[in-house]
Amino acid sequence: MGKKIPFLLLLLLCAFPSGFLILPHKIAARETLPATLKDVDKSVQAQNGWDKIQNEIKKSDGRWVEKRLNWLNRKSTFLMLQQLERLEKLLVKIEGRVGKSDDLKVQTAKIFPRLDEIKLKIQNLKLQLKVQTEKNYAIEAQSETSLRWQAGQVWQTAMTDIKILRDSLIQIKKELNEIVYALQK
């Protein structure tokens, strides 16, 4: 047992070069190094340069969030416009079938005004989606904390705008489904 301890100590010293171990005499030498005025100036200049680099990184992060948010806005509005076009085609089919059917003459008085309301809602939603597509969300931040806070606020604003439009699209779909189910009975 006594022979294993020096072997392990030798193994540890071989495994870790002297750069990894901080010996007491090296700590004392570091503490006694004089800090000249030039060295302090260089460190301050380096810190100022690093601050400028960090500010540029923050600005690029803000630009990345803006690009991503604007892309998401355009994509979601484009998909909603496609869904509205499909709903319009379905609406045309429903109107054609209701107009041709003799069995539904009693229900057509109730159905046509509802179909006209849905057409108006679709047109209004299309206009709102075009306005939403043209929106650009910008982030103007000076520090990291304000960047995070403002990015969160802008993101939340964009998501609420998109959610409002999505909810109205879902409402139009529900109304159209009610008409289709009423015609099947």
CB atoms within 10 A of CB 79: 13
The reported pLDDT for the residue numbered 148 is: 79
CB atoms within 10 A of CB 5: 9
**Cβ–Cβ < 8 Å for 121, 168:** yes
Report d(CA 36, CA 23) in Å as an integer.
25
Tell if the pTM clears 0.75, that is, is over it.
no
Joined together, the tokens standing for residue 150 give: 């403002």
The reported pLDDT for the residue numbered 28 is: 53
Question: Residues with Cβ < 8 Å from 89, sequence gap 6 or more?
Answer: none
Residues of the chain with pLDDT under 70: 1-62, 101-107, 144, 185
Crossing angle, helix 37-100 and helix 144-184, to 10 degrees? 10
Question: Residues with Cβ < 8 Å from 151, sequence gap 6 or more?
Answer: 62, 65, 139, 141
Question: Residues with Cβ < 8 Å from 129, sequence gap 6 or more?
Answer: 77, 80, 81, 84, 165
The reported pLDDT for the residue numbered 125 is: 95
pLDDT, tens digit (0-9, with 9 covering 90-100), for 141-163: 777 677 778 888 888 999 999 99
Report d(CA 185, CA 111) in Å as an integer.
13
3-state secondary structure the chain: CCCHHHHHHHHHHHHCCCCCCCCHHHHHHHHCCCCCHHHHHHHHHHHHHHHHHHHHHHHHHHHHHHHHHHHHHHHHHHHHHHHHHHHHHHHHHHHHHHHHCCCCHHHHHHHHHHHHHHHHHHHHHHHHHHHHHHCCCCCCCCCHHHHHHHHHHHHHHHHHHHHHHHHHHHHHHHHHHHHHHHHHC
Q: What is the largest CA-CA distance in the chain?
A: 107
The reported pLDDT for the residue numbered 73 is: 92
